[in-house]
Amino acid sequence: MAFREVRVFEVREVLRLWLRGDGLRPISRLAGMDRKTVRRYIEAAEELGVDRAGGDDQLSDELLGQVIERVRPDRTDGRGEARRLLDGHRAQLVKWLDKEGLTVVKVHELLERQGVVVPERTLHRYALEELGIGRSVRGSTVRVADGEPGDELQVDFGKLGRVADVESGRLRDLWALVFTPVVSRYSFVWLCHRQTTADVIAGFEAAWVFFGGVFATVIPDNMKAIVDAANALDPRFNQAFIEYAQARGFVVDPARVRTPQDKPRVERVVPFVRNSFFAGETFIDLADAQRRAEDWCRERAGMRVHGTTQLRPAEHFRAVELPALTPAPTSLYDVPIYTTAKVHRDHHIEVAKALYSVPGNLIGTRVDVRADRTLVRVFSRGQLVKVHPRQIAGHRSTDPDDLPSDKTVYAMRDLDKLGRIAAEHGLAIGAYAAALLDVPLPWTRMRQVYALLGLVKKWGPDRVNAACERALDAEAVNVGLIGRMLERGTENDGETTPIQQQVLPGTVVTPRFARDDSHFAVRAGREEVAG
């Protein structure tokens, strides 16, 4: 597996956790990074003036770009130096780890004796992912303490069945997103038809309203809406969801794949919701099911005596957990779109079927894009390179500075600027260009103005200006006419070849020395008959 570049939102998460007071070890675990890497990003932030006593508003896109620039060197092959060092000792590593059965800790020590210094976490990941060496051993488990009130909220998805969809007129799958606080067990159920990031965020927004506040840590399973790639050592989070977590102030600590004991409080709730709430019921639609689910959470599930705590979850929650929560948000979250896009030859990228320009030096590369309701932000290697107002599908936003100077006017259909460029070469040239563009669809005549400017480049502005003067006097607006005058050298000759007699496409012209028909006669016999 190739080296994975740390992304902007991951650096933001490291610094956010540090600002809230977490140490290197928990930051390393929650962010999925080696502690040395975490330390480098923190030190870079401190050097740039980030104050740990300050808030998250210090973490601007510009600052994060500067932090990344200080920490991350250019990697032309997409791999870090540590991985490249380990590649050079691959055979030895296989011998130590596989054939001799040495531990990663011991191998790490042996490498250091040889002058190969890499993070132990990187070595562990390399052995597991590159060499396929190392497996977890299943054994007995221990019961984990519940922790402090308001600390942890476990989340799980479960399919309940099918319910009518008013819009499509058919039955659709009904999914339940179940939220269960670790201490009180006071569960909330959010129903939806899909498992998209937007649906999951909508469920979280409803949960904060239901609970009256936000929990410090969320423990979900590895649902695609939250985790892009599950990994016990280094899970890859969905960018949009992590940004949501940052905005609402909670930390995401996903459970391991196929490890239900990591979130046992909610695992037991999903079948309970299916059997106690959904089974045997008939619902009109999704909205009806959601209303009844919330009533069931408050009045039935919340008021039953829990088998473990021997308390009613709703009462227990209000007594010990509600005071420990951070305030619930007062406005709905604007769910962004995160994507990557290729910069095409026309200097634009496509996002949600709309076009946005980027600097020409990025043509052929892929950029990271964040789009919300109002703005589209474009990043290249962690640096913010462009910001555009959000456009609806089929529209575009183009910054003229992103285009080559010689193509900007045409691409932007800037008729005024094109007229000014023509006028700079001569008053008659400018007037002639204006006459060319004086049509109902003027941009369709822009090529002719460019052809006129091409004549200026070929013949010089003085000759072209003289030709334009003659053509304007004759009210003859045709770039081809100007070109023929210049080729024949008649732009300053008003007598030899009157402009009215020069051939225009599709025009029949009488020759200058043609005789009248009466000048010709045919002799028939002895008589002369006028032709």
62-71, 200-209, 278-287, 410-419: least confident range: 410-419
Higher pLDDT, 97 or 229: 97
The domain segmentation of the chain, as residue ranges, is 8-129, 152-327, 337-403, 414-501
Structure tokens at 445: 């005549």
Which pLDDT band, with edges at 50, 70 and 90, does 474 fall under?
A: confident
Token pair recorded at residue 430:
């400018």
3 state DSSP class of 513? coil
Q: Which of 2-11, 126-135, 156-165, 274-283 has the lowest mean pLDDT?
A: 2-11
SS3 sequence of 318-334: HHHHHHHCEECCCCCCC
Quick check: 1 pLDDT over 50? no
Q: Which tokens is 101 given? A: 């059965």
Rounded CA-CA distance 363/404 in Å is 12
**pLDDT band for position 436 (50/70/90)?**
confident
Which tens digits make up the pLDDT trace of 488-529?
Answer: 887 776 543 444 444 444 433 333 334 444 444 445 444 444
Cα–Cα separations (whole angstroms), residue 215 to 20, 270, 295, 406, 503: 14, 20, 22, 56, 84
Rama region for 101: left / alpha / beta (φ>0; ψ in -120 to 50; rest):
left
Instruction: Please say whether the beta carbons of 412 and 432 come within 8 A.
Output: no
Task: Return the pLDDT at 498.
Answer: 47
The pLDDT of residue 134: 67
- Give the pLDDT score at 439: 75
pLDDT tens sequence across 228-258: 766 655 667 888 888 899 999 999 888 754 4
pLDDT exceeds cutoff 90 at 204:
yes
Range of lowest pLDDT (6-20, 213-227, 497-511): 497-511
Instruction: Return the residue matching tokens 């210090």.
Output: 58
Fold (topology level) of 152-327? Nucleotidyltransferase; domain 5 (3.30.420)
Neighbours of 264 (CB within 10 A): 16
Count each helix (H run) and each strand (E run) in the chain, helices first.
20, 18
Q: Look at strands 337-342 and 348-351 and give their pairing.
A: unpaired
Q: Read off the tokens for 336.
A: 């962004």
* 134-162 confidence digits (pLDDT tens): 654 444 444 455 578 999 999 988 899 99
Q: CA end-to-end span of the chain, whole Å?
A: 96
292-296, 409-413, 464-468: which has the highest mean pLDDT?
292-296
Q: pLDDT tens digits, residue range 318-371? A: 999 999 999 999 888 888 888 899 998 888 999 999 999 998 888 889 999 999
Counting other chains too, the contacts that 292-295 makes at CB distance below 8 Å and 24 or more residues apart are 293/176, 293/189, 293/190, 293/191, 294/188, 294/189, 294/210
Range from 31-40, 365-374, 410-419 that averages highest in pLDDT: 365-374
Q: According to the model, what pLDDT value does residue 405 have?
A: 56
